[in-house]
């Protein structure tokens, strides 16, 4: 793949930079096959100086040198970017959007007549930076099985990848797109609780983060239902079941359900403009 794959990333904010860093960290592409562009010239210069990829000051120029073009800007900026690059796209290229709530039909509607690059939506998340991302790919018009597989092969270097119908992308956004922030709050709360119980903060934070990481890894690698794994820890009359009772009393499950639902609903609102 690395012999022929050229990637252009428009927008190197938190998510765009995480994707580039993750790809290079995994060795999925060499830096000379990646071009980045962003209105913040200082940001692109610093990133390129650190990681060695090409920088383009012009989005249309970036499109001309990239087989796969990733739009990694805020949703409300996608229209302006499409206006700038649509005339430079060709049918043999693939246009990939990671902007939450921006639909494939919205992208298609911004293309000039007769120009039909493959359109693909991707919802990544920030743990892709450390090779532990959870990403969903939704193929659109022109996205052949070969083009989708080529992209998913690249993304697998950054974590787990699933291919879904676009109708599920708002739910994906609420769960794995926004989910890391919910988990970070949990890690912070666990660490604070450890400090309250008498642990030094560095020790509490290390234990909290590793506990969340290890629990997730156990779910993935054991293949067991989380409920069964929970029962392995919650002995009758023990410490864990006492803590679980407090979580239930505080509505922990309901709060998580509401958070994911709210994020998914906001993604739907964004898709409606």
pLDDT in tens, 207-254: 999 999 999 999 999 999 999 999 999 999 999 999 999 999 999 999
Q: Among residues 64, 138, 67, 65, which one has the least CA distance to residue 97? A: 138
Residue 256: which residues within 8 A CB-CB, separation 6 or more?
182
pLDDT at residue 265, rounded to an integer: 94
Task: Looking at the structure, tell me whether residues 206 and 228 fall in a common domain.
Answer: yes
The CATH number of whichever domain residue 148 belongs to comes to 3.40.50.720
Residue 241: which residues within 8 A CB-CB, separation 6 or more?
234, 235
pLDDT at residue 176, rounded to an integer: 96
Mean pLDDT of the 21-29 span = 89
Provide the domain count of the chain.
2
Task: Looking at the structure, tell me whether residues 20 and 137 fall in a common domain.
Answer: yes
**Which long-range contacts link 139-142 to residues 24+ away (Cβ below 8 Å)?**
139/163, 140/104, 140/107, 140/108, 140/166, 141/104, 141/108, 141/116, 142/91, 142/116, 142/117, 142/118
Task: Looking at the structure, tell me whether residues 156 and 186 fall in a common domain.
Answer: no
Beta-strand runs (E) in 180-243: none
Task: Looking at the structure, tell me whether residues 249 and 122 fall in a common domain.
Answer: no
pTM: 0.89
pLDDT at residue 100, rounded to an integer: 84
Question: Which carries the bigger pLDDT value, residue 208 or residue 40?
Answer: 208
Span of 99-108, 237-246, 264-273 with lowest mean pLDDT: 264-273
Mean pLDDT of the 201-209 span = 98
Residue 63, in any domain of the structure? yes
Task: Looking at the structure, tell me whether residues 138 and 51 fall in a common domain.
Answer: yes
pLDDT tens-digit map of 50-73: 999 999 988 999 998 899 999 999
pLDDT at residue 172, rounded to an integer: 96
pLDDT at 2 over 50: no
pLDDT at residue 229, rounded to an integer: 97
Task: Looking at the structure, tell me whether residues 157 and 183 fall in a common domain.
Answer: no
Residue 1, in any domain of the structure? no
> Directed axis angle between helix 179-196 and helix 252-271, to 10°?
150
CA 63, 69, 73, 78 torsion: positive or negative? positive
Task: Looking at the structure, tell me whether residues 45 and 123 fall in a common domain.
Answer: yes
| End position of a domain, from candidates 169, 190, 207 | 169
Task: Looking at the structure, tell me whether residues 96 and 195 fall in a common domain.
Answer: no
pLDDT at 259 over 90: yes
The CATH number of whichever domain residue 199 belongs to comes to 1.10.3730.10
Q: Which residues pair with 68 in a beta bridge?
A: 7, 94
Residue 54 has a CB neighbour count (10 Å cut-off) of 18
Instruction: Name the average pLDDT for the chain.
Output: 93
Task: Looking at the structure, tell me whether residues 200 and 232 fall in a common domain.
Answer: yes
pLDDT tens-digit map of 82-102: 999 988 998 889 999 998 889
CA distance 69 to 108: 14
| End position of a domain, from candidates 169, 201, 231 | 169
Query: Could you list the residue range(s) of the whole structural domain that residue 26 is in?
Result: 7-169
């Amino acid at each position: 793949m690395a012999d022929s794959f050229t990637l252009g990333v428009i927008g190197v904010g938190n998510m765009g930079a995480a994707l580039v860093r993750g790809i290079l960290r995994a060795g999925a592409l060499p830096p000379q096959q990646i071009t980045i562009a962003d209105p913040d010239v200082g940001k692109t210069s610093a990133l390129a100086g650190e990681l060695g990829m090409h920088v383009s000051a012009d989005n249309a120029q970036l499109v001309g040198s990239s087989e796969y073009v990733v739009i990694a800007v805020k949703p409300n900026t996608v229209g302006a970017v499409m206006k700038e690059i649509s005339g430079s796209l060709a049918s043999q290229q693939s246009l990939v959007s990671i902007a939450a709530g921006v639909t494939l039909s919205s992208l298609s509607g911004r293309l000039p007549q007769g120009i039909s690059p493959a359109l693909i939506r991707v919802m990544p998340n920030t743990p892709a930076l450390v090779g532990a991302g959870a990403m969903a790919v939704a193929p659109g018009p022109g996205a052949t099985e070969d083009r989708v597989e080529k992209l998913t092969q690249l993304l697998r270097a950054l974590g787990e990848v699933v291919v879904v119908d676009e109708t599920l992308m708002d739910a994906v956004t609420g769960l794995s797109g926004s989910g890391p922030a919910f988990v970070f709050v949990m890690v912070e709360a666990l660490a604070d609780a450890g400090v309250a119980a008498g642990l030094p903060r560095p020790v509490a934070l290390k234990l909290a983060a590793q506990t969340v990481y290890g629990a997730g890894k156990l779910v993935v690698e054991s293949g067991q239902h989380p409920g069964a794994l929970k029962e392995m820890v919650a002995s009758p009359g023990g410490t864990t079941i006492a803590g679980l009772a407090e979580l239930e009393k505080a509505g922990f499950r309901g709060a998580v359900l509401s958070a994911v639902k709210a994020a998914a609903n906001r993604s739907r609102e964004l898709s409606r403009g």
